[in-house]
Structure formats: C-alpha cells, structure tokens
Structure 1
C-alpha cells in the first residue's frame, strides 16, 4: 500500500473520530500523522478543526490559516476558516473567504450557506436573499436553502413570503424540527398564536428542545391569554439560561401585568448573583417602566460603580434621572452616551428629550437633524422637530401641527347587519372584556392604570371586531382625500394611494387611568375609537378622559396642550402618528374602553 493511500486512510480515521466527538483521540492520531509528515496540509487543517472544537479557537484559527497557506486552492479549507471567523464575530472577513471558496468551486453548498449567514449577520439581507435563491436554483428540493431564504425574507419584514418559504422547507423535509420551530417563531411575529403554537409543538414532538423553543411557546401562550402556562414557559426559559435578557424581561412583564408585587424577582436574582451589567441595565429598565425610580437609579449607579461607564448604562441612568426631574445630571450622562454612539437613535433620543425639557431647542436640533436624515419616516424625530420649531417660533410647527386640518373626528354609523352603533359597541365591549384579563398595564406602553390586549386585533375572528375594523376603512379614505398630497409635507408626501392598517389593539383605562403623552414611532396615521366611556367625560370643565394634543412626553417650556377632543361612543379620531397625544385621567370606577390602530401606505407589490 502506497504512502499516499496510507495517509488518506489515516485522515479518514481521524475525520471519523472528529465526527464522533472523540476529540482527544482524534488530536493524538492527527499529531502522530504530522510527526511523520509535518507538511501535510490536510492533516494540519484537520488538527485546526479539532483544536477549534476543543475550545482553543485561536490555535484552531492559526492551524487553519497555515493549511491554506500550504494549499491555497482548497475551497473547503477557506470555507472552514470562514465558518470559524463568522462564529467569532468577524462576518466581513468570513464573507471574503466564502467568496474565495466559491470562486474555486461555485457548486460548494457549504460555502454558499455560510456566505448567506455572513451577509445576514452584517444586515445585508437583500444580498443574502440573492445567494439563497442561487442555492435554490441548483436544487429546489433543498430544505436548508428554503429555510435560509425564509430567514432573509423575515429580516426584510416580508413576512408572508417568509412564511411560504418556511412551509416549502417543511414540505421538502417534513420531519426537520428546526423548520417547524422557525415557522412558529415567525407566526408569533404575525400574531397568529394558535398556528404558532401548533408549529412549535410539532417541533417539540420531533425532538427539538431548548431555550428558544420554550421562549417562543411563552410568547404564543401570552397572546392566547393562557397566562399560567406562559409564565411557566418563561420560567423554564430563564432556568435554562438566567442571562437571557429577552426571556427575563418577558417573565417580568407577564408577572407585572398579572399583578405580582414581586414581578422582577427572577431577573433581580440573576443580575445580583452574576453581577452581569447587561442584565442589571435591563432590570433598571423594567423598574423604571413600573414606576420604581429610586430602585432603578440605585441599580444603575451600582452598575457604573462596579463595571464602569458604558453608553448603555449612561443612557439608562439619564432616562431615570429625566423621569425623576434631575435634568442637569441627566444631561451629563446623556451627553456621554450620545457622544460615544452619535449615530445611535436610542442615545440621541434621551439627550434630545432632556435638551428640549431644559429649554434648549438650538442644542437639540443637530441631533434631531442627524436622525431625521438617517430615518426620514421616523415619527418620533418628526415630533421632536416640531417641538423644537414650536419653541423657536418656526412656522414649520404650524405646518406639522395644523390641528384643524390634520386632526379629524368621525362619528361612525352602524354598518349593514347591525341595528345601531350601540348594538355594535355592546358586542365589541363584550368581546374586548374577554381580552383584558390583566391587572396592570404593559411595561412598555403609554397607558397607566389599565390594560392592553395581548395581540393584534387584525387576527381576531370575532364578528364585532371584524366589523369595526372594516368600517374604519371609509374614514381613512376620507382622511386621505381631505389632507391632500403635498410632496413637501412629511405627512401628505406619503399620501400616494391605498393604505393598510398594520396594527390594532384595545386599551381599558380604570380608576386614575390615563395615557402619557406619546407618538407612534412606526405609524403614519394613528387613531382612537371609543367603544365605551364613563359618564364623567361629559363634564366639559374637568375633561376627564379627554384626548389631548401637542404636549410632549416630558414637560417642555411653553409646550402645553393645544387641542382636546371629547370621547363619545362610536367616535373615531384620526391624526398624524408623529403628533404628541395623551389623555387626561379618569377618576371614577367605570372603565374607558377604546380601540386604536396605526395605518401606513401600502407597499407596492413586486
């Protein structure tokens, strides 16, 4: 038997040991080979893979690079090094190597799969989609290719297309649990919780387990209002990984909305036990949103004392100090965060809010203009721009906040099939009451002392809900017609045709309930529809529960409410999503029940 045949046999044996996970034995055999043939590129490459799998990525990378230097035209060598680079957070370098591998062998699927993932890691989702379609062109029965295409479409928010691609992946390989799981996760994002749960349970029946599965089950169960099960699912997720911030936040959120006074116990215990600054910052966020400002502040000061300043910690502390009225110190921390990350909208947001509250619109404008340029459709930045213009006496404010023209009310008439609006509203109230089981408001919404439905009303099948959503289309069309299509106005420039309602929800405000002033960051036209209102809204002096416009979230000198609307059952109010709006508190025991939605211009079909 020739030396080359012996070498090939030994390499195959080592490869088999590596696949079986017998890493120590594989490494020993590989080093024996290299003692006899120190320049064998394949053996060096194999040793690099073994060292990488044993946890020494630096030595693994060194050996993989050495093998490529010895055999630069081996595409799998380049692809394997690219895999290591991508998994250690260097997707751009990985992309270069994947492309080099494909130049050597354009039909190597592993390199193209890696390239798709590397592009996706960099946010290059359109390019990743193109590569996924190339992979599919070679084999329409490739389940992995369909799943990768679905991933690229999901990241572009082309969710129906992503769903179709995941379903093709399952059609090709029906017993592939990860595809069922990914479909379930996508359906959660589409608020189709019943279908999501079915897909997730199918993945589980096929043997899938782990944190992501139980977390996504928790999301679906929350939407279905199966709250005991949802809480247990999130508990299981944080038990699997106490440092998983999203699972911890969702567990705290469900407990808070259920009225648990110790809602933050899990994330607090994990943050304190591990002294993890990221988890402590998340804890402070939850506490701030729950209104516990002293504890949120002390948590952040402890983070900074123990771990030093970071943009995230500084911005979080600035937000707490802003809410507690400590504006001067808040500005110091916000400036540090925004200075470290000038293009990060989150950090500029808190700084701009503070500067406007301190009466310094000129200082705020450069930050506002930077974000307006980066995100021209961002409704929050339009609101800040309008507020600064108002403070400076700039006519732009009147253009953006033309209440007579841009805030319109519609008293809805009963549709066919309903004898009156009272009958429809009574049916709506009955349906919505069943969807308001929570004791407290969500931790991440504008309402206080009330509750909000857990999922998008657009997916509900209740006939009253379906009827009212259908009715809203006519007022929307009238609103579009009346506001016009001036290309120089940021609202009307987008008024170029059909619109879609993209999110709808219901809110119940209870005693002392109200909405803090806010905007809808991702909307275009926003709304409030009154299903049932307490008797106290009739008092035109107190104006309890009335909708108000023009007052920012935090107090700004001279920026008080400029327009108010009295609630009335059957009344719909439409207004720009960038317009500051909130409500006066209600004081009695009768709740105020509303439906709200956001509408955006319909995307052109491709």
Structure 2
C-alpha cells in the first residue's frame, strides 16, 4: 500500500471519512485496496448507492479479491438486500469459496426463506475461529426459521462449543428459545441473570413480556416501564403496555405515550404508533388531533401522512384522504400498503380499472404480499375479469379434510378430548384481542405449535399429513401466487387457538404475510349444523371487509365439523357467521409458509 493510500487509511481509522475521500480522489492507481477503502468511506458517510457502485466497479477489475468480496456482500446484508446478495454470490461463484461471503450468502438465504439451500451450505461449511460465533448464530437462526425449536434446545446442550455457551447473546438466544417453547420459568431465569449482568431497555422489555406470559401482570408492567425509562421511544414496550392495560387496567390505556410526550421531545415513529393504538381503540377524534399536529410538524413523513389519510377517510373526508394517498403512491410506488388503500378508494367508487392498474404495479414489487392479491381478487371479480377465477378457484384451492388419528389413538375424536382440555386451559384472557379479527372471544399468545407439549406435537403430526396431501394435489402454474411457490415443503410460521363465545365471530380478513391458511376445528357446539338456515358459526369465504353492500359476494359457506381442517390460500377473504351457543367454538388456525 503506497503512502497516499496509507494516509487515507489512517484518516478512515480516525473516522475522518470526508478527508479520506479527498485523499482517495487524487489517487490515480486504483487498486483493489483503493476500491475497498473508497467504498468503506462512502458507506461511512451514508452514500450507500455510491458505495455499492464503487464495489462493483472494483469487482469488475478484481473479481476474486477477498477484501472486495467480503465487504461488498457484507454491505448487502447490512442493507437487507438479501436477494441482491444471493444473485451476486451465485453469479460470482468465487465468493462462495471464501468464508465471510459464504456466511453472508447463507444469511441472505435464511432471510429469503430459501431454508433448504441454506441448510445445505451451512452443513458444508467448516468455520474458522474468526467466524465461529457467526457460524453458530446463523445455524441457530436457520433452525428457528424452520420452527425446529427442540433442535435448538438440543443444539445448546450438545453442539454449541463450550466457549460460546456463556456468551451474552447466545444465552439471550437460549432464553428466547425457552420462551417460544412455552418454558417461561426457564426463560425468565436466564433473562434475569442477563439483566443483572448488563441492564438494557431490550432486556427489561423481554423480561416484562415473559412475566406477561406467566400472567404476572404487575411485574410485567414494572419491567415494561423500566424499559421506557431507559428508552422512552421503544415502540414495542408502549404497545405491549397498552395491550396489558386493555386486558387488565383500561383506565391506564395510552398513558405511557402521554407520559413520554410530556417529558421528551416528540418522535415521529412513536407518534405513528400512538395513532395506530388510538385507531385500534376507535378513538377517532383523538387520533385526528394527533395526526393533524404530526403532519404539520413532519410534513415529509410518509407514514404519518398515511395514518392521517386513514383517519380522514373514517371521518368522512374522502376527498382529502384520496388526494393524500395519490401523493403517497407517487412518492413510494414500492409501498404495498399505500397502493392497497388507494385501490380501496377506486373500488369504492367503482373505478375498477384504476384499482387494478395500481395493484398490478404494486404486486410486481411485492409478489408475495397476500393483501395485494386479495384486493386484486375484488377488483377482478367486480370487473368480470377471468383472472378472478384463475386466482381464487375454490374447487381446486379450498379443501376440507379429516384430521387423521395420531399414533396411539384409535380415532382423532379419542385424541381430541384431551386436546380440547389443553386448549381451554390456555385461554386465560377474558377480553377479545385488541389487534385481531376475533370479536367476543379470546386468542392465545405466541406461536402455539412451538410449545413444548406432547399433545401439541401429536396434533402437529396430524395437521402436517393433511397439508402435505394438499400440496401434492395442487396443479402447477409458474405465474400463480399460490402455485408458483409450492415446493412440496412447508413450515408453520404462526399458530394460535381461538375460542369464540356466545355472539362471537371473526370479522372478514385475510393474512397479508401468509401463503396458506389452515384452521383446525377442535370443538364445535351442537347448535352448529349443516341444516341450520342461519349458518350459526359457519365459515364464509369471499366476502370482504370493505362493506360494499350489494356488490359483496359470499363465494362459499362451510359448516365445519369437529376434527376437520380447512386449507385455503391466505389471500382469500374469510370470516365467520355469528356464533349462537352457550358452548364455545374452539379452533387452531395456522399460517403456512412454503420452503424452498
């Protein structure tokens, strides 16, 4: 490294990035080291696009340079440009023979849900001492994405090197795994140990959440408040406190926001959260006041403008809301949420071609967003477009199946008696959740199927058999949002139990981040019958949440039976008729995602 490059490196190490860039700009001999250092300086002053271009220029001349490959793939991961990292590594195969780019590639595969490929590469990787921590961390991340929490538990016990077992972040990961398994006491013990070693807002938050899991609400509240004392704008803590107050102390609702804004400068991210909570509580006047002030203080903040448009629409000022949404879509065409809400306006006005145009543009940027496809299904149906039938084809895509008896049981009904008792015991909340589709009912917390429980494991086996059968029966179509992602392998990404009481129902909804929805029916009241003209507690498909009046259409109605699972694409609108029974309607819904 010559003298001028050495001076630039010295300036970089002293965090004098602009001075380093000046020194590099006069350098004529652009070696691989020059491109690496110049790119690092550009990244340090947040000129990310320029840094990426500089790396690529250097790699065109020095395609196998270790420094360039290490740092370029690292930048892509830091920027969460995982698809770009995968594409680059698979084009520049030399990168996969190098340890750090290979780990960046594996991280990208995990985050893009290419889990089988990530598993192959991680098994073929032998880490050096310098990458040992990251290798084992990525291995744990991979099995977490697989939902294989018991493997993670075993990994900590038998495969994680001894020198890593006591490290802070690995202990934290182990605690989170215990919590996901439903082993809350074990999780809390580790978290409290870490909290004594290294107090932080995040630790107080997760300790508070674990106390909530244990139904120890006073301790949960205390730790969530302690989190906010250290980090007043920690949005998850505010929202978790509000959830706690909704269930146990409604007089305290929104109080954490009030206290924070009283003592600290306003933060636009926290204001956006505050507005969202007010909307969930249906406090439109207060939400309008907050959003009006916020959009004046932060006129370029698109998320606040979007929240303001929602409130204006609900208050009846459709014209202003529509104008705001047009601006948002123009400024952020990649944002699915803005496009969906604008399309909603066009659908309400009967301008289906305009809705379709915006949605089809947005789906190019967000091909797996189920809500975009759900709104396209509405616009296509209302405009008599054949694509509606191509997309929704209920005969092919909606299947009612009998759950098979788990091992050791003669029938599923024999097993189900024990499962019913377990599910009932898990419904500890009395109020409907603040942010879900359930009305007059309760919903369990966390990922139900990840809990460490023999009955849940047996249920998973039965459910998986049905889903595997469903996947093998699907046709092929590389352009279809359901079929193109079917690789005959799946993982359950979300699961919970819902207990509907007298008068309860599911509001019409879809699952934006899902792929398949798969509710299983664990307990069905005797009053629910295929002969019931009122369709008490039935599942209905096709009717939207848009309140379109005579333009609404119920495509199919199903009276579920105990021991059945109903599988359908997550973009198909679904809800239920009101339950009229003193006995609960008990289900285990599940979000299924494809593996590739």
TM-score scaled by structure 1? 0.76
TM-fit CA distance, 1:220: 4.5
Three-state SS of the structure 2 residue aligned to 1:274 is coil
- In the other structure, the counterpart of 1:543 is 535
- Matched residue, 1:595: 588
- Cα deviation, 1:387-416, whole Å, max 9, x if unaligned, reads 111100112223333334432323446445
Distance 1:44 1:521, change over 3 A: closer
CA apart distance, 1:248? 1.9
How far apart, CA to CA, are the structure 2 residues paired with 1:222 and 1:67?
56
- 1:552 Cα deviation from its structure 2 partner: 1.4
Matching of residues 188-587 of structure 1 within 5 Å: 197=188, 200-201=191-192, 203-204=194-195, 207-223=197-213, 227-258=217-248, 260-271=250-261, 273-308=264-299, 310-323=301-314, 327-412=318-403, 414-418=405-409, 421-487=412-478, 489-538=480-529, 540-556=532-548, 558-586=551-579
Taking structure 2 as the reference length, the TM-score comes to 0.77
CA contact (8 A) 2:539 2:576 kept: yes
- CA shift, 1:429, in A, is 2.4
Name the SS for the 1:472 alignment partner: helix
Given that 2:406 and 2:461 are in contact with CA atoms closer than 8 Å, whether structure 1 keeps it comes out as no
2: CA distance between counterparts of 1:159 and 1:70? 53
Cα shift at 1:525: 2.6
Where do 5+ consecutive residues of structure 2 fail to align?
A: 90-94, 104-124
Q: Paired residue for 1:19?
A: none
Structure 1 position 92, deviation (Å): 4.7
Structure having the higher Rg = 1
Q: CA RMSD in A?
A: 4.4
Cα drift, residue 445 of structure 1? 2.3
Matched residue pairs, number?
553
Give the alignment of 1:98-137 within 5 angstroms: 117-125=74-82, 126=85, 133=100
Aligned partners of 2:44, 2:255: CA distance in 1, in Å? 33
Cα 1:152–1:429 change in 2 (3 A) is closer
Whole-Å separation in 2 of the counterparts to 1:45 and 1:416: 65
Indicate conservation of the 8 Å contact 2:180/2:446, yes or no: no
Q: Specify whether residues 283 and 425 from structure 1 end up closer, same or farther in structure 2 by C-alpha distance, changes over 3 A only.
A: same
Pairwise CA distance, 1:362: 1.0
Q: Which residue in the other structure is 2:116 paired with?
A: none
Residues in 1 aligned to 2:182 and 2:488: alpha-carbon distance in whole angstroms: 26
Q: Is contact 1:82–1:97 with CA below 8 Å preserved after alignment?
A: yes
The 2-side partners of 1:240 and 1:438 are apart by 29
- Looking at structure 2, the residues matched to 490 and 77 of structure 1 have their Cα atoms a distance apart, in angstroms, of 45
Is the 2:516–2:567 contact (alpha carbons within 8 Å) kept by the matching residues of 1? Answer: yes
Aligned to 1:10: none
Structure 1 contact 42–67 (Cα < 8 Å) conserved:
no
Where in structure 2 are the equivalents of 1:155-166 lying within 5 Å?
none
SS at match of 1:537: coil
- Structure-1 separation of matches of 2:401 and 2:102: 52
- Matched residue, 1:140: 128
Q: Please give the alpha-carbon distance, in whole angstroms, between the structure 1 residues aligned to 2:290 and 2:502.
A: 31
Query: Aligned equivalents of 1:575 and 1:416: distance in 2?
Result: 26
Preserved contact between residue 183 and residue 452 of structure 2 (Cα < 8 Å): no
How far residue 82 of structure 1 moved from its aligned partner, in angstroms, is: 6.9
Give the SS at the match of 1:387: helix
Farther off after superposition, 339-348 or 209-218 = 209-218
Q: Distance in 1 between matches of 2:99 and 2:547?
A: 50
| Contact residue 490 and residue 593 of structure 2 kept, 8 A | yes
8 Å contact 1:211–1:237 — kept in the other structure? yes
Aligned in 2, Cα 1:414/1:115: closer, same or farther, shift over 3 Å? closer
1:107/1:188 Cα in 2 relative to 1: closer, same or farther (>3 Å)? farther
Q: Give the CA deviation at 1:364.
A: 0.8
The structure, 1 or 2, with the larger RCO (C-alpha pairs under 8 Å, 6+ apart) is 2
**Shift of the alpha carbon at 1:152?**
12
Question: 1:135-188: CA deviations, max 9, x gaps?
Answer: 989971226752697399669957879979x96886444443234335656776
Q: 1:251–1:171: structure 2 CA closer, same or farther, 3 Å change rule?
A: farther
Q: Is the 8 A contact 1:457 1:505 kept in 2?
A: yes
Quick check: 364-373 or 400-409, which moved more? 400-409
Q: Give me the whole-angstrom Cα distance separating, in 1, the residues matched to 2:398 and 2:8.
A: 71
Secondary structure, aligned partner of 1:381: helix
TM-superposition CA deviations, 1:96-121 (whole Å, max 9, x none):
789989x9x9888xx99876653322
